[in-house]
Structure 1
Amino acid sequence: MAEQVFREFFPLFDGVLVERNAAETVTKGGIMLPEKSQGKVLQATVVAVGSGPKGKGGEIEPVSVKVGDKVLLSEYGGTKVVLDDKGYFLFRDGDIIGKYVD
């Protein structure tokens, strides 16, 4: 079903569509966290990327991440996008702090 959604939505230029990871609801020690004390999730998975911005010479510069990459986001930023009742966030490639290496 998720593949169907991304056939209908394609980020333009250097847009990167991500799905934030679920918030931790239990600490490593087993303590349940109430919603108020759960921090904002800064880790996400890339689900769609644009083709890249045009450079000075008119050539397209590739985006630095690809679908499936695990990335680190800034605490603020991104635009919320709802596709088929599921929330995603759209970031510019330059707004992504980094990506995790497997």
Structure 2
Amino acid sequence: MRISTNPRIQPSAATSARAVSFCEQVRAAPTTESTRPGAAAWSHFATLVTALELRGNDITDAWLAAQAIELDAHFVTFDRGFQRFPGLHLTVLG
């Protein structure tokens, strides 16, 4: 939603309502799996934040990376900044 509604990134940015509607459709798909952070997520997060000396907006990225690392999930993004997170299985698009 952050990207699709941002006119600086995407000139034909979606409205908030349209972005929410799209996310609701994805969440309702039969192949969608919901996850919750487990006990190890905080440990991964704390390690990433301290080892990389992260601050500000990078904190949110570290939390997303920590959850993916804990789940041994594959993370797909357009943001090359995620390459800095060791242990993250990553595909950078574009």
Greater relative contact order structure (CA < 8 Å, 6+ sep)? 1
In the superposition, the TM-score normalised over structure 2's length comes to 0.25
Larger Rg: 1
Higher helix share goes to which structure? 2
In the superposition, the TM-score normalised over structure 1's length comes to 0.24
Higher strand share goes to which structure? 1
